[in-house]
Amino acid sequence: MTGNALRVFTVESFDQLDRSLADSLTWDMCKTDFRPGTPEIICASDKIGVRASTKKPFDGYVFVADHFHQNECRAGPEHFPDSKSIGITVPFTNCNVHRYRSLNPRGIFVEMTVVFMFHSVFMTKIDQMVKIQCFYMEAEKPVTVPLEVSMITTQFRQKVYQMPRCEYTLRKDNPNGPVVQYATLGQSVFHRWECVEEEDKDTFGMLVHSCYVDNGFGDRVDILDENGCGLDAVLLSTPDYDSSLRLATKAYHVFKYADRPVLQFQCQVTLCLKLDGGCNGITPPKCKETKALHNHSSKRSKLRKTRSQTKSKRGVGDTLDVFTKPVMIVDEQFAQLVDCPCSLRQAAMSLW
């Protein structure tokens, strides 16, 4: 077809293509009368979105996953000037768009999952789900100060520290147990926050703070305050830190929102340099005994306000966002099947 053997791609050579080119070719090869071709990601200053095209007019909806019934999170034929060019754009503040900070690379990730539903009422096998992600790199701005000329030359030495890699997980049975994907109501599970330095160095300490739990629909409840102290003993008490100050754990009993089976936890981790006592008075936090609370709605707006006020007071290293994988809250019978694949197979066979 090309008349040039060098332009022919084989199964073996396809894996050697640039990833973005390979993805583009894959999407376009899968493009049918209905399925979209290569999606175009939209990364604006205050919104994120996606565009795609179909061979036939599109009569369904493009929506943010789990937010179909919110008008601002859904786009239909009436929103598309061209019925073969479809997409949706959502402000950062709507539809539970996920934002989190990163230290390496330094900047902010913004992401959401979009569903292309080709039927106007039902989801079918030809529907597509795309996770889109935008990265906004933090620019380094030089600051200059006028200085008078001096007869003495001042030499500066700068030491650059490699930032640790931090993660937040939920563990089963003990702080070192397997990562939890499913849990039952009331089950004992361990929160685990950890920052790992390269080459086993001992440069940084960490403070875990400003934590909340989210049900995936924008409903959030704060569980650790801006100082790293527990807010409600029923939900989570103040974490326990080890001697390195880079590992914190805390047991809790699984809870869930009414009629919402999924939970996800998110926290901020602020790093401090141990050099010359740089972490003293910062971590571990000095907290009063955590009591059980029952009214969270009134404290939520108040906490949001104090976070921005206390950040400048702390005046220590960098702060990043960490979050757990979503956890599905299931009944005990389903949990037993998940823990024992053999039981799952036996249960499936019994249906035949």
Residues 103-137: tens digit of each pLDDT:
777 778 888 889 998 888 887 878 888 888 888 87
Length of the chain: 352
CATH topology of domain 17-137: Immunoglobulin-like (2.60.40)
CA atoms of 72 and 83, how far apart (whole Å): 19
| CATH number corresponding to 165-336 | 2.60.40.4100
pLDDT tens-place string over residues 130-152: 888 888 876 545 554 555 554 44
Tokens of 206: 């960490």
C-alpha distances (whole Å) from 347 to each of 189, 219, 333 are 27, 35, 11
Of residues 152 and 97, more confidently modeled = 97
With a cut of 70, say whether residue 299 has pLDDT above it.
Answer: no
DSSP β-ladder status, 182-184 and 327-330: parallel
CA atoms of 79 and 84, how far apart (whole Å): 12
Sheet with strand 165-172: strands edge to edge: 165-172, 188-196, 247-253, 240-241
CA atoms of 12 and 132, how far apart (whole Å): 28
- Residues near 169 by beta carbon (within 8 Å), at least 6 away in sequence: 179, 180, 192, 324, 325
With a cut of 50, say whether residue 209 has pLDDT above it.
Answer: yes
Confidence of residue 29 (pLDDT cuts 50, 70, 90): very low
Residue 52 bridge partners (DSSP): 86
Q: How far apart are the first and last CA of the chain?
A: 50
The region of weakest confidence among 28-32, 299-303, 339-343 is 299-303
The region of weakest confidence among 84-88, 207-211, 347-351 is 347-351
pLDDT at 13: 46
The region of weakest confidence among 12-21, 30-39, 249-258, 323-332 is 12-21
Residue range(s) occupied by CATH 2.60.40.4100 in the chain: 165-336
pLDDT tens-place string over residues 263-286: 899 999 999 888 778 899 999 999
CA atoms of 343 and 237, how far apart (whole Å): 36
Tokens of 95: 């539809």
Residue with tokens 């039952």: 184
In three-state secondary structure terms, 313 is helix
